[in-house]
Amino acid sequence: MEAAVLTDRFPRTQVLASQDMPTYQVAGEDLVETVRFLRDAQGFDLLADLCGIDWKDRTPRFGVVIHLLSTTHKEYLRLHVGAVNDAVPSVSSLHPGANWHEREAFDMFGIRFEGHPDPRRILMWDAYPYHPLRKEFPLAGIEVPLPAADVAEVTGQAVEPAPMMGGPFVSPGGKMSQAEPSALDQSWNEEKPKA
Amino acid sequence: MGGCPNLRQTTMVKSDFGYNSKVEGEVIVTRADAVVNWVRSHSVWPMPMGLACCAIELMGAGGSRFDISRFGMEVMRFSPRQADCMIVAGTVTYKMAEVVRRIYDQMAEPKWVVAMGACASTGGMYRSYATLQGVDNIVPVDIYISGCPPRPEALLDGMMLLQEKIRQEGGSLKRTFRGRTVETKIVR
């Protein structure tokens, strides 16, 4: 598909630089019609992936990336949509496979998908107060109560920040080290006397 | 004893109906606790709490090659009401922790917990916001098995260690949890 096919029909669409597949910046207002046009008129009939991005310093801060595949033309295509006011129109009415992907993007980034039939979290529990894949969220987590109050009462357990010990999967110094990736902070190691 | 009943009929004498010292051997005297523990240790019915790849090794241990039934604990029960040993095999997320605890509460006493593998024991490599850092934070664990995942032999070794532990138990149903003795409280 020529880029002009899309940019002529949707003037707000821009071509983005990409190394692997044609990539377009689509305006949020055009997204549903763009995906519909690509599906019905251009043969991009399979939604391969849909995910969120936290751009941190950009405005809008969040974006949604949609990968489409044409099973007839054997072509991939990528759409990027900025989430103005953290909201993006849902494409799950066009591609049912987008349903859970959009729930995951909402769960992890807090991007609202307008028109989604079931806008709930999918990985974390419903009452979880944070969106863990946002840049400012620490990998170790933030302390909150357990999802089940009765279990928390019996066990005295909460959702606690995980001990990072210098962070997981860090290769020891030197390039192309043969040693196993391990934590930088080895204070937990039994080689050191325990406090 | 044994043999064809018809043949036995011809030679049957009165003493065959009573206590036969040649067959039964000498009388064994023991404590009730020891007998009960011996019976319990050889009729462990595991509840396979398979949550990740450790569950595959758990299945391997149940198969014919490793054959967990050699040690008298092959009866995997998928209902907690019928099980007395929960094998937590895999990563316990905070979302799943509630389920693990609830299933533990639904098991009848006496009950034991085996933390199989790094994740169930300590959270393993999952140092993250989503993963419970060791199932011993929510249920009392009797045996920890190292490995990621442990081989079936390691699981069998752990289960035999559990049998040894059961055989040494007193009569009490109280157990230690986080360093103190607790009675099991039921969560509905």
d(CA B49, CA B55): 8
Burial, B137: exposed, middle or buried (Cβ in 10 Å; 0-12, 13-18, 19+)?
buried
B123 and A162: CB-CB below 8 Å?
Answer: yes
Phi, psi of B184 (to 5 degrees): -70, 130
pLDDT at position A171 is 55
Choose the mutation target among B103, B105, B106, B127 for the interface with A, i.e. most A CBs under 10 Å. Answer: B127
Q: What is the mean pLDDT of residues B104-128?
A: 90
Chain A positions touching B127 (Cβ under 8 A) are: 139-140, 162-165, 167-168
B143 beta partners: B114
What are the boundaries of each domain within chain B?
46-167
pLDDT at position A21 is 93
Name the residue of chain B whose CA is nearest to A124's CA.
Answer: B95
Which residue is listed with tokens 């509460």?
B105
- Pick the most confident of A158-167, B3-12, B158-167: B158-167
The pLDDT > 70 percentage for chain B reads 75
- Quick check: A127 pLDDT over 60? yes
Which residue is listed with tokens 């729930």?
A103
pLDDT at position B16 is 55
ipTM of this complex: 0.78
pLDDT tens-digit series, residues A19-36:
999 999 999 999 999 999
CB A160 within 8 A of CB A141: yes
CB B69 within 8 A of CB B29: no
Q: Give the three-class secondary structure for B121.
A: helix
Instruction: Domain B46-167: state its class.
Output: alpha beta
Lowest mean pLDDT among A94-98, A177-181, B45-49, B79-83: A177-181
Q: How far is CA A146 from CA A126, A129, A132, B101, B185, in A?
A: 12, 12, 16, 12, 18
pLDDT at position A173 is 58
Measured in angstroms, the CA of A162 and the nearest CA of chain B are apart by 5
B129 and A140: CB-CB below 8 Å?
Answer: yes
Q: How far is CA B73 from CA A177, B44, B70, B141, B162, in A?
A: 45, 5, 8, 18, 11
Q: What type of residue sits at position B36?
A: V
Q: What is the mean pLDDT of residues B61-82?
A: 89
pLDDT at position B74 is 82
Q: Do strands B112-116 and B143-145 pair parallel, antiparallel, or not at all (unpaired)?
A: parallel
pLDDT at position B3 is 45
- Quick check: B89 pLDDT over 90? yes
Q: Give the three-class secondary structure for A80.
A: strand
**What is the CA angle A21-A27-A33, rounded to 5?**
85
pLDDT at position A87 is 94
pLDDT at position B170 is 66
